[in-house]
């Protein structure tokens, strides 16, 4: 466990993707990623040696300010944030944001699911990759699944991932799970990929158990 983390950036904005799109959020982007997706839009975050290690207290000081200004949750992203042990970080967020008149800050994480779990989260966004499949823990415990679509093989991967997730449950529990939206399945076209857009839209039109996720922050030209 660590009390310092390599920080790329932290900022208050709107969540642009998935189930919580449009909500006020504070983002903590950590450096380091060994997954190496060719289409990644944050490749600058891959090499953690380029970024300073910041104390978790300093990071949380900014989280507290953002909360006072309206951020409803904190999103830990990357890079691949679970390359780092987040036990101390998550525990400290909960402790330092707990006040008499309000509960502690909710913590969301965006992960490919390739590393072991650490930390505790109120919402897990799993974005698995074909070339580096996720661990079963995340298939069982994620809240939403977001597959990035570039080509037909990504559609095939999305179908397979859903099958693997449903295998984690007994059939009688699957129906309740889906009705309660314990797991929400998204296809998200890769940015500036017309083929990915067409594939994702056509698939969602014909598969109502999937939803389309767009990077709305990019359309709005906000961070």
Number of domains the chain contains = 1
Dihedral-angle region of residue 94 (phi above 0 means left; psi in -120 to 50 means alpha; beta otherwise): alpha
Instruction: Give residue-wise pLDDT tens across range 16-50.
Output: 999 999 999 999 999 999 998 888 888 899 999 99
What CATH number does residue 47 fall under? 3.20.20.70
**Residue 63 or 165, more confident:** 63
pLDDT at residue 40, as a whole number: 86
Reported pTM: 0.93
pLDDT at residue 79, as a whole number: 93
pLDDT at residue 166, as a whole number: 84
Task: Report d(CA 147, CA 156) in Å as an integer.
Answer: 11
Residue 118 CB: number of other CB atoms within 10 A?
A: 16
In 3D, which of 196, 112, 197, 209 has the Cα closest to residue 162? 209
Instruction: Give residue-wise pLDDT tens across range 43-102.
Output: 899 999 999 999 999 999 999 999 999 999 999 999 999 999 999 999 999 999 998 678
Task: Report d(CA 223, CA 210) in Å as an integer.
Answer: 27
Q: Indicate whether 172 pLDDT > 50.
A: no
> Mean pLDDT throughout 115-144?
95
pLDDT at residue 170, as a whole number: 52
pLDDT averaged over every residue in the chain: 91
Domain coverage including residue 60: 4-220
């Amino acid at each position: 466990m660590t009390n310092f983390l390599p920080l790329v950036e932290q900022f208050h904005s709107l969540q642009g993707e998935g189930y919580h799109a449009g909500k006020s959020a504070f983002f903590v982007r950590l450096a380091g990623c060994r997954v190496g997706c060719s289409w990644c839009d944050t490749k600058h975050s891959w090499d953690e040696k380029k970024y300073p290690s910041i104390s978790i207290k300093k990071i949380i000081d900014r989280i507290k300010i953002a909360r006072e200004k309206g951020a409803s949750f904190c999103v830990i992203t990357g890079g691949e944030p679970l390359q780092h042990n987040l036990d101390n970080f998550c525990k400290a967020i909960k402790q330092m944001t707990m006040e008499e008149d309000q509960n502690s800050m909710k913590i969301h994480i965006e992960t490919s699911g390739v590393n072991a779990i650490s930390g505790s989260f109120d919402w897990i966004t799993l974005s698995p990759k074909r070339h580096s499949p996720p661990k079963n823990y995340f298939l069982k415990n994620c809240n939403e699944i977001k597959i990035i679509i570039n080509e037909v093989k990504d559609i095939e991967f999305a179908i397979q991932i859903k099958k693997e997730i449903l295998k984690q449950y007994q059939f009688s529990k699957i129906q309740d799970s889906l009705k309660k939206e314990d797991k929400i399945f998204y296809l998200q076209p890769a940015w500036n990929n017309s083929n990915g857009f067409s594939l994702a839209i056509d698939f969602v039109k014909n598969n109502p158990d999937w939803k389309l996720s767009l990077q709305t922050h990019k359309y709005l030209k906000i961070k």
